[in-house]
């Protein structure tokens, strides 16, 4: 049995299910299971991952094994040719490390949305090898919280905490859609859930996945964040312990949208990543009669997720 199985996530049949593996994993988008719920069937093209839902082709421009690679127009055209076999889609959405000259990469498509800004320095990876990780795993030993690997189904208290998370955080619709996709992955048995309790009361929970036998991803955390609460520390501490018991070498901590998150992750040993991470481009088929704008394409992707109400 692979070490990853000891965490309870059903990943031993990953390659048999999808037809490829994720060797060379290094970025959040390489965990394809939640993204496939949002964007359709995944496929790999020389290290690049794409998704096709029959309506739009989605390309994650982060190449496996090659963090410095930039998606070019020629590569995008090749991916579209291999994936679609001459068929057309209403739109092509590309995000990640990409050349913004992709505007004209696909004949018959026009650009309706582009986000040229790159994200700031991110705290991504936490090495689980060496003394720093051992110290981090002991950090929450004195906390008055009990964090356990959960095997029971989601309860109303979990959904109440998720509703509270949406109310108290500036959560974009795409982020909300991804969070719900992570929950569905958990219900399918692909993602591990850890519950944090204080005096028997649920204070939050976190979702962790294992895309490779040596990598784990802290996909999403939902916490009440009461004043003075240490539930987040207790959760990360337990995640580290579970990963170390499964011989995981690296834990991806997710993206860092605020300075508070950056401080929290570096406190636990996360390393800053200064590589350019994020640009976005949406191309629509001409005539653009099915998609009015790139933002409408985003809405279309979100509505495809079950249980999500779009205002």
pLDDT for 207-237, tens place per residue?
999 988 888 999 999 998 777 777 888 888 8
As a whole number of angstroms, the distance between CA 36 and CA 41 comes to 6
CA nearest neighbour of 150 among 117, 115, 124, 187: 187
Q: CA-CA distance, 37 to 177, in Å (whole number)?
A: 10
Domains of the chain and any CATH numbers: 31-119+276-303 (3.40.630), 122-273 (3.40.630.30)
- 285, 108 Cβ separation under 8 angstroms: yes
**pLDDT at 272 (0 to 100):** 72
Residue 258 has pLDDT above 50, yes or no: yes
How confident is residue 238, by pLDDT bands cut at 50, 70 and 90?
Answer: confident
| Percent of all residues in the chain with a pLDDT value above 70, rounded to a whole number | 74
User: Which residue in this structure is represented by tokens 């850890």?
Assistant: 194
Give per-residue pLDDT as tens, 55-66. 899 999 999 999
The pTM score is: 0.80
**Averaged pLDDT for residues 242-261:** 81
Supply the pLDDT for residue 234: 86
């Amino acid at each position: 049995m692979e070490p990853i199985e000891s965490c309870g996530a059903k990943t031993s049949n990953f390659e048999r299910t999808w037809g490829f593996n994720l060797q060379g994993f290094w970025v959040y988008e390489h965990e394809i299971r939640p993204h496939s719920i949002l964007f359709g069937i995944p496929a790999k093209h020389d290290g690049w991952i794409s998704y096709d839902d029959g309506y739009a082709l989605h390309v994650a421009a982060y190449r496996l094994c090659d963090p410095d690679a930039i998606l070019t127009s020629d590569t995008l055209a090749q991916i579209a040719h291999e994936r679609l076999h001459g068929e057309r889609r209403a739109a092509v959405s590309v995000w990640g490390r990409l050349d913004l000259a992709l505007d004209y990469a696909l004949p018959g498509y026009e650009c309706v949305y582009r986000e040229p800004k790159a994200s700031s320095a991110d705290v991504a990876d936490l090495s689980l090898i060496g003394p720093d990780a051992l110290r981090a795993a002991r950090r929450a030993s004195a906390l008055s919280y009990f964090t356990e690997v959960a095997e029971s189904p989601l309860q109303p208290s979990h959904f109440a905490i998720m509703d509270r998370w949406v109310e108290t955080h500036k959560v974009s619709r795409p982020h909300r859609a991804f969070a719900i996709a992570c929950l569905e992955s958990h219900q399918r048995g692909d993602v591990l859930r850890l519950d944090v309790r204080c005096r028997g009361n649920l204070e939050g929970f976190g979702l962790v996945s294992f895309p490779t036998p040596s990598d784990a991803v802290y996909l999403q955390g939902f916490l009440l964040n009461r004043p003075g609460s240490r539930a987040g520390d207790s959760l990360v501490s337990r995640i580290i312990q579970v990963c170390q018991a499964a011989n995981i070498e690296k834990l991806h901590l997710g993206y860092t949208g605020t300075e508070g998150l950056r401080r929290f992750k570096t406190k636990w040993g996360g390393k800053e990543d200064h590589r350019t991470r994020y640009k976005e481009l949406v191309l629509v088929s001409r005539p653009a009669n099915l998609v009015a704008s790139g933002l409408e394409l985003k809405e279309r992707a979100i509505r495809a997720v079950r249980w999500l109400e779009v205002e």
